[in-house]
Amino acid sequence: MHTAYPMGKDNVLIMQNGTPAKLLILRKSDNHIEKEIELPTQSKNIHGQFRHVRPTKAGTFLVAHMDAGRVVEYSSDGKELWSVPAPSAWAAVRLDNGNTVISGNGLGNVREVDNKGRTVWEVKKGDIPGIPLYTVQEVSRLRNCNTLINDRSANLSRDDQPTTVQLIEITPGKKAVWALRNWRDLGPASSTQLLDEPGVPEHGDLQR
């Protein structure tokens, strides 16, 4: 399981990789399964099937099919509503404007697509001067419209890791605002949540 996300204060969404793979909503008080949806998989490598799965404010589910190279939005009963090609998709976040931000694991890129799948904003490996991106995993859009990017850089040697960052915040113009580069005390970064972002996670307020 690579996803656990609160749905209100009583339930939690879990994505269980496997054969079959299951999207589950559990009641936290007694672990009762409130909803179970089987999702299709392409790879027999269970570890590589799914990463980032999130509910949307519309009551749907946004799923990064890492093994299938696409992002899919499903209805509450598991019907496919929308999809977009997304090679090695790790995270997908539905924004308030209806667009979707997607990260490419191992590709070093983040892109924002509209509801027709057209790319309207993108940052690639070499777009930030002096800070290459390698293994981009979780990505968040902040209230100030900046983007927070986790770069796991897992395939770099220990000698090469200090040449990049674990975490970076960039503006819409792709300017670095703040970056974490502390390889002495910390390892590769897969996910991050800023604690001072306005909104209640249980209400989905941090999905923007």
The fold of 91-196 is Neuraminidase (2.120.10)
Which pairs from 8-11 meet CB under 8 Å and 24+ separation? 8/202, 8/203, 9/202
Q: How much is the pLDDT for 207?
A: 65
Peptide bond into 201 cis (omega under 30): no
> Length of the chain in residues, anyone?
208
Where are the domain boundaries for CATH 2.120.10.30 in the chain?
Answer: 91-196
Q: Within the chain, which residues score under 70 in pLDDT?
A: 206-208
Strands (E), 75-133: 80-85, 89-94, 100-104, 109-113, 119-123
pLDDT digits 0-9 by tens, 56-89: 989 999 999 999 999 999 999 999 999 999 999 9
Q: How much is the pLDDT for 158?
A: 82
pLDDT digits 0-9 by tens, 169-180: 999 999 999 999
- DSSP-derived pairing of the beta strands 50-55 and 61-65: antiparallel
Query: What type of residue sits at position 100?
Result: T
Where are the domain boundaries for CATH 2.40.10.480 in the chain?
Answer: 1-85
pTM across the whole model: 0.92
End-to-end CA distance of the chain: 23
- From the list 171, 178, 175, 131, the residue with the least C-alpha distance to 151 is 131
* Residue matched to tokens 């559990």: 26
Task: Please state which CATH number belongs to domain 1-85.
Answer: 2.40.10.480
**11 phi/psi in degrees, rounded to 5:** -120, 160
Residue 45's SS3 state is coil
